[in-house]
């Protein structure tokens, strides 16, 4: 079984395979072996060029009033019905005072606690997960073998291996509280001030001439609701940070770290637990293909001023992928190992179709060459293991997350289109060449198929369900290379022909994918079998 597909896949670009080759095909029986060492530093860029992921809506289904009093879900409902001195309700005591205040002209009316602001079903606690920094660092070595089967057909095989790949995220949280909570706080803050204006919590000041019994009852109401030690106190809610996920989350069903209802956690701890920084190494997806010479003459033949080629290739899913979730397989911190895994490939056998060519001319003994290329990558559907995360599910219980989505789901990565244009000029004939080019990349939106249609839409993006997030991506990047050539038999030192290349890739425009700066050092050699 393959694994979950995520935005963390290290195989950022394949477009680099479209350019940088001296020749698209080789003479018959000629081998070309290339070793390319590449260092990449990338940032995720979302809509509008914003670094990191867009703010992501988040809540915990069923949490509601649990945050405010885990032992009594009705603690903020029906406050008017509470009894004072065994027999007298809160609203009856306050109504008695308000009637007297109106008769006496005291111009003060206490809130009678009759207004209910929320209930178990209507109250909502939610907010936005923020991701201001999302980076990817990698060290990659690719060995590429090419062989001229005939004068017109060349076999290619590329084997990538990651010495290291590390993804880091910076998570945050911004709370949004139901309007009813703000109304509740305003209502009781104003009411507490009215009590204070009357001289409560100690005694009513002159000219409020009321009985000692009513004074005592009003003081008892204040003591119950507006003091820290009150039996029905709401003071903690009026004075506390009202962002519930940032301060604390209470209840075993909302806490993956404890089975106790008394232990607390927060959103920061949850995100670090489910989405830690991840590192890995190992083999990437192998790619093989065939290049066909269609028109003109290759530059190595020099019989015309142009050449056109076609290509067919296949990506073989040989890279390390995320494993099936197993709660019993944990690391030293007690975190399931799946959470720390970073996949290095796409996990499917993709097909590549390409058309490319070159124009070349010699000017003052210096070769000028223009390369162009287009490639279409078809990504088939595959089955993957579900990555366990509360994002998109609003649950922190592993069983609940998997039951919503399914242990496996089907996924199809959007098809991809590459195009590139590059020009190169010999600075020193047959020795030193400079190349400048640009590559354009477009990927269509991903498709997800699971038990949960809303989750499928959330993962794919491109809708209001997950604002400013999309799996359809676009990139434009600039290439610059300096190539040292030692392949001319008439001007070659040593017995081995080779090329050495120092190149860099710089992003120009990126949306909904990794914006990467790459530095490459390449060594290419040739030999022939007769």
pLDDT of residue 94: 94
For residue 456, is it within any domain? Answer: yes
Instruction: Kindly tell me if the per-residue pLDDT of 502 is higher than 90.
Output: yes
Residue 16: band (very low, low, confident or very high) from pLDDT cuts 50, 70, 90: very low
Question: For 504, left (φ over 0), alpha (ψ -120 to 50), or beta?
Answer: beta
Q: What percent of the chain has pLDDT over 70?
A: 88
* Residues 277 and 404 grouped into a single domain: yes
Nearest-angstrom CA–CA distance, 110 and 108: 7
Task: Pick 104 or 77 by higher pLDDT.
Answer: 104
Nearest-angstrom CA–CA distance, 295 and 452: 51
Q: Which residues fall within 8 angstroms of residue 468, CB to CB, at 6 or more apart?
A: 46, 47, 48, 50, 54, 55
User: Prior bond to 207 cis, omega within 30?
Assistant: yes
Strand partners, 385: 408
Q: What is the mean pLDDT of residues 4-18?
A: 42
Residue 247: band (very low, low, confident or very high) from pLDDT cuts 50, 70, 90: low
- The tokens describing 144, both together, are 């590429």
pLDDT of residue 208: 75
Instruction: Kindly tell me if the per-residue pLDDT of 226 is higher than 80.
Output: yes
**Per the structure, how many domains does the chain have?**
2
Angle between helices 179-197 and 212-225 (to 10 degrees): 140
The highest-confidence range among 113-117, 182-186, 250-254, 519-523, by mean pLDDT, is 519-523
From the list 367, 362, 347, 486, the residue with the least C-alpha distance to 1 is 347
H/E stretch holding 100 reads helix 90-104
For residue 8, is it within any domain? Answer: no
Instruction: Kindly tell me if the per-residue pLDDT of 81 is higher than 60.
Output: yes
From the list 321, 322, 320, 317, the residue with the least C-alpha distance to 286 is 317
For residue 6, is it within any domain? Answer: no
* Residues 511 and 463 grouped into a single domain: yes
pLDDT of residue 3: 47
Whichever domain contains 520, its CATH number is 2.40.128.130
Other beta carbons within 10 angstroms of residue 207's beta carbon come to 8
Instruction: Kindly tell me if the per-residue pLDDT of 267 is higher than 90.
Output: no
H/E stretch holding 236 reads helix 235-239
Last residue of a domain, one of 264, 280, 315: 264
Contact assessment for residue 348 and residue 11, using Cβ atoms and an 8 Å cutoff: no
pLDDT in tens, 325-377: 999 999 988 899 999 999 999 999 999 999 999 998 888 888 899 999 999 99
Instruction: Kindly tell me if the per-residue pLDDT of 244 is higher than 70.
Output: no
For residue 1, is it within any domain? Answer: no
For residue 116, is it within any domain? Answer: yes
Q: What is the mean pLDDT of residues 97-118?
A: 88
* Residues 172 and 182 grouped into a single domain: no
* Residues 291 and 349 grouped into a single domain: yes
Instruction: Kindly tell me if the per-residue pLDDT of 321 is higher than 60.
Output: yes
pLDDT of residue 243: 60
For the ranges 127-136, 143-152, 212-221, the lowest mean pLDDT is seen at 212-221
Residue 8: band (very low, low, confident or very high) from pLDDT cuts 50, 70, 90: very low
Nearest-angstrom CA–CA distance, 346 and 350: 9
* Residues 320 and 332 grouped into a single domain: yes
Q: Note down the domain range covering 162.
A: 15-58+132-176+267-528
For residue 7, is it within any domain? Answer: no
pLDDT averaged over the chain?
Answer: 86
pLDDT of residue 169: 95
pLDDT of residue 349: 94
Q: What percent of the chain has pLDDT over 90?
A: 57
Measured CA to CA in angstroms, residue 77 lies from 68, 125, 193 at distances of 11, 16, 21
pLDDT in tens, 451-469: 999 999 999 999 999 999 9
pLDDT of residue 239: 67
Task: Pick 246 or 248 by higher pLDDT.
Answer: 248
For residue 87, is it within any domain? Answer: yes
* Residues 196 and 302 grouped into a single domain: no
* Residues 473 and 341 grouped into a single domain: yes
Contact assessment for residue 110 and residue 97, using Cβ atoms and an 8 Å cutoff: yes
Q: pTM of the prediction?
A: 0.80
Residue 12: band (very low, low, confident or very high) from pLDDT cuts 50, 70, 90: very low
Last residue of a domain, one of 264, 279, 312: 264
Q: What is the mean pLDDT of residues 381-386?
A: 93
Q: Is 64 helix (H, G, I), strand (E, B) or coil?
A: helix
Per the listing, tokens 């065939």 go with 290
Residue 178: band (very low, low, confident or very high) from pLDDT cuts 50, 70, 90: low
Q: What is the mean pLDDT of residues 94-104?
A: 91
For residue 9, is it within any domain? Answer: no
* Residues 233 and 297 grouped into a single domain: no
pLDDT of residue 18: 39
What pairing do the DSSP bridges indicate for beta strands 249-250 and 264-265? antiparallel
302 burial via Cβ count (<10 Å: 0-12, 13-18, 19+): exposed
Residue 122: band (very low, low, confident or very high) from pLDDT cuts 50, 70, 90: low
* Residues 396 and 473 grouped into a single domain: yes
* Residues 248 and 356 grouped into a single domain: no
* Residues 112 and 140 grouped into a single domain: no
Contact assessment for residue 308 and residue 299, using Cβ atoms and an 8 Å cutoff: no
Nearest-angstrom CA–CA distance, 442 and 318: 24
pLDDT of residue 268: 85
Nearest-angstrom CA–CA distance, 171 and 58: 13
pLDDT of residue 4: 42
pLDDT of residue 260: 78
Contact assessment for residue 323 and residue 3, using Cβ atoms and an 8 Å cutoff: yes
For the ranges 44-58, 158-172, 209-223, the lowest mean pLDDT is seen at 209-223
* Residues 400 and 297 grouped into a single domain: yes
Contact assessment for residue 256 and residue 397, using Cβ atoms and an 8 Å cutoff: yes
Contact assessment for residue 8 and residue 278, using Cβ atoms and an 8 Å cutoff: yes
pLDDT of residue 240: 56
- The tokens describing 138, both together, are 């990698």
From the list 140, 136, 166, the residue with the least C-alpha distance to 39 is 140
Last residue of a domain, one of 248, 264, 280: 264
Q: Is 175 helix (H, G, I), strand (E, B) or coil?
A: strand
- The tokens describing 297, both together, are 């003459």
pLDDT of residue 30: 92
């Amino acid at each position: 079984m393959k694994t979950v597909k995520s935005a963390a896949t290290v195989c950022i670009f394949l477009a680099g395979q479209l350019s940088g080759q001296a020749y698209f095909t080789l003479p018959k029986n000629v081998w070309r072996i290339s070793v390319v060492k590449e260092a990449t530093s990338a940032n995720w860029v979302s809509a509008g060029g914003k670094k990191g992921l867009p703010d992501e809506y988040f809540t915990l289904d069923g949490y509601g009033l649990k945050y405010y009093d885990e032992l009594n879900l009705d603690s903020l409902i029906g406050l008017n019905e509470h009894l004072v001195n065994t027999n007298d309700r809160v609203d009856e005591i306050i109504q008695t005072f308000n009637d007297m205040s109106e008769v006496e002209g005291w111009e003060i009316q206490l809130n009678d606690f009759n207004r209910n602001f929320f209930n178990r079903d209507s109250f909502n606690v939610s907010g936005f997960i923020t991701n201001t920094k999302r980076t990817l660092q990698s060290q990659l070595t690719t060995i590429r073998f090419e062989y001229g089967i005939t004068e017109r057909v060349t076999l290619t095989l590329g084997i990538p291996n990651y010495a290291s790949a590390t993804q880091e995220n910076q998570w945050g949280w911004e709370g949004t509280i139901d309007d009813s909570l703000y109304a509740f706080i305003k209502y009781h803050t104003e009411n507490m001030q009215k009590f204070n204006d009357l001289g409560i919590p100690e005694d009513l000041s002159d000219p409020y001439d009321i009985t000692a019994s009513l004074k005592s009852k009003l003081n008892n109401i204040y003591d119950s609701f507006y003091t820290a030690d009150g039996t029905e106190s709401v003071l903690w809610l009026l004075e506390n940070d009202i962002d519930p996920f940032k301060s604390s989350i209470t209840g075993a069903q909302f806490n993956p770290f404890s089975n106790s209802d008394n232990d607390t956690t927060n959103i920061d701890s949850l995100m670090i637990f489910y989405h830690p920084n991840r590192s890995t190494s190992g083999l990437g997806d192998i790619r093989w293909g065939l290049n066909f010479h269609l028109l003109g003459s290759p530059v190595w033949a020099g019989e015309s001023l142009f050449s056109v080629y076609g290509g067919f290739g296949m990506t073989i899913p040989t890279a390390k992928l995320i494993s099936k979730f197993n709660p019993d397989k944990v690391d030293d911190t007690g975190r399931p190992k799946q959470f720390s895994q970073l996949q290095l490939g796409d996990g499917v056998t993709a097909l590549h179709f390409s058309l490319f060519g070159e124009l070349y001319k010699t000017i003052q003994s210096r070769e000028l060459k223009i390369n162009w290329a287009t490639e279409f990558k078809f990504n088939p559907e595959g089955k993957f293991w579900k990555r366990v995360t509360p994002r998109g599910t609003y649950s922190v219980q592993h069983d609940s997350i998997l039951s919503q989505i399914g242990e496996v789901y089907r996924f199809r990565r959007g098809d991809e289109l590459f195009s590139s244009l590059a020009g190169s000029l010999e600075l020193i004939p047959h020795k030193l060449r400079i190349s400048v080019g640009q590559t354009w990349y477009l990927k269509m939106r991903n498709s997800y198929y699971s038990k949960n249609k809303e989750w499928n839409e959330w993962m794919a993006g491109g809708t209001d369900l997950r604002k400013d997030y999309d799996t359809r991506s676009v990139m434009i990047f600039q290439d610059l290379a300096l190539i040292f050539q030692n392949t001319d038999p008439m001007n070659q030192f040593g017995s081995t022909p080779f090329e050495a290349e120092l190149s860099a890739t710089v992003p120009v425009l990126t949306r909904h994918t990794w914006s990467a700066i790459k530095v490459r050092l390449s060594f290419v050699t040739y030999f022939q079998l007769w």
